[in-house]
Each structure stands twice: as structure tokens, then as C-alpha cells.
Amino acid sequence: MTEKTNSDPRLRQDIHNSDIPLVCLACEARHGGICGALAPQQLLELSKHTQRTAHARDVDLSVTALPADMYSNILGGVVKLTKIMPDGRQQIVGLQFAPDFLGRPFSENGDIVAEAATNIRLCSFPKSVIEKIIKETPEMEHRLHEQHMRELDEARDWMLTLGRKNAIEKVASFIHMLVSHIDPEKADNVSDIEISLPLKRADIADFLGLTIETVSRQVTNLRKKGVIEVNDRKSIIVADREKLARIANQGG
């Protein structure tokens, strides 16, 4: 499913007398994402080339949403990154959340496949436009650098998870990662946080280096410890976030 947004060039004067395109004013990811580094006129120029689309779960985004000449911001949902080996074997190597930027300016990375782990919404724009703006805007380049460094830190943390943590720590780390990326407004002052699982049990097992049976057993252990409640196979409620973090890092 694709729903294109009108790149409405109309402007609105806010209390700071700044001209922000209407499509950007309504954007959930503008302040937290790379676009937050842009001046109103740059946002206006970018908005002339943007396209908003919605994609169903399990869609290969490299085919439908991320052609070779486009980048995207994630507005909502979770994107699964998978690395493909020459013989066809594959491994899930990461997850991306709103307002992450999909793509690597000025470099090629053709062996990573981006797939919609959940229903997602994207804001896409031509590579040529975004790379021109990056060259003109050091702050935007800085934000991209920060995201790449964050992804590197997360990859190192995940190496620790896979190499040194036991089964319950791995499952707790996975759930804690999901909780850490939900909308902050939904997490504030809420004792029970409901999250949708973006991966099927088989994919969770693959991501954690465990068997499906072990994942199910550790989910049950976390439930018995009062850390989570299981709604169904697609969602859980985190009842004790602090204890979840302790188990993820210490196992107890």
C-alpha cells in the first residue's frame, strides 16, 4: 500500500516568524531526526521532493521503498536489517526505529536488505537532494554521524549480548531494546508498557542465537518473575522496566 503525501508548498508563520512547510510541521520525526538540523528554507526545498508512503509487514523495502536513488526517514514502525551471504544464508543484524535515517550517504552498502518488520511509514527523498543539503549543512552531517556512532555502539553491545549473556539475559535485552525505542510520551508515568513484537518467534531466536523453544521458555521465566505479561504471540506488557533492565545486564 502506498499513500503519497502532497508536497504542499504553503507556509505557516509560527510565533518565531519561521516559515515551516506544513508537511514538516505535522511530521512526527522532524525534531528527533536529521531534518531537525535544517533551516525553514531547507525544509521547504526538501519538502518539494519528499514522498510519504506506508508499507505492510514483511515487505522488502529495497524493492518498494528504497530504490538506488532514494533515502528515507522512518516515521513509524520497525525496520529489520538482514545481511545476505553469497550462498544465500542470512542473518538479522539490526533493527531501526523512528526517527532513524535509512541509507548511507556517499557510500554503497548493497549487501544489507531492509525489510518492514512491522507496518511502517516512511518519508523518502532523492539521494541527490539530501547529499547536496548535507554538504551545505554541517549540523545535518553531525546528526547523521551521531546516528552511525549510535548504531556502532548498539552493534558492540549486541556482540556482548550474543557472546557473553545467557539465555534469559538475551531475551530480556531484546525486550528492553524494544521498550527503549517506544514513543517517550507513551512511556512517561506508565507502570505497564505494552509493546508489539516486531519479529516472529523464529526471527527473535535467529537474532539472539537461540532456539525457538529457548526463547519461549525464557519469556515464560520472565512472566513468572513478574517482569512481563504475555498478551498473545504478537505483544507483551512490561510490568517492571527496572527489573527487566537488571536481568538484561546481570541476569538476576
Closest CA to 5 of 102, 114, 140, 125: 125
Q: Which residues have a Cβ under 8 Å from the Cβ of 35 and sit 6 or more positions away?
A: 24, 27, 29, 43, 46, 73
pLDDT > 90? residue 176: yes
Question: Average of pLDDT values for 215-223?
Answer: 96
- Domains of the chain are 11-137 (2.60.120.10), 165-250 (1.10.10.10)
Position 12 pLDDT exceeds 70: no
- Cis bond before residue 21 (omega within 30° of 0): no
Residue 3 scores a pLDDT above 50: no
Tell me what pLDDT residue 143 has.
86
> Global pTM?
0.80
Counting residues of the chain whose pLDDT is more than 70, the rounded percentage is: 82
Rounded CA separation 138/37 (Å): 9
Place of cell 514483511: 58
At position 124, the amino acid (one-letter code) is S
C-alpha cell, 39: 533551516
pLDDT (tens digit per residue) in 149-169:
988 898 898 889 888 999 999
Distance CA 157, CA 138 (A): 28
pLDDT for 214: 97
At CA 196, angle to CA 192 and CA 197, rounded to 5? 120
Cβ-contact 105, 134 below 8 angstroms: yes
Stated length of the chain: 252
Q: Which residue did the predictor score with more confidence, 182 or 210?
A: 210
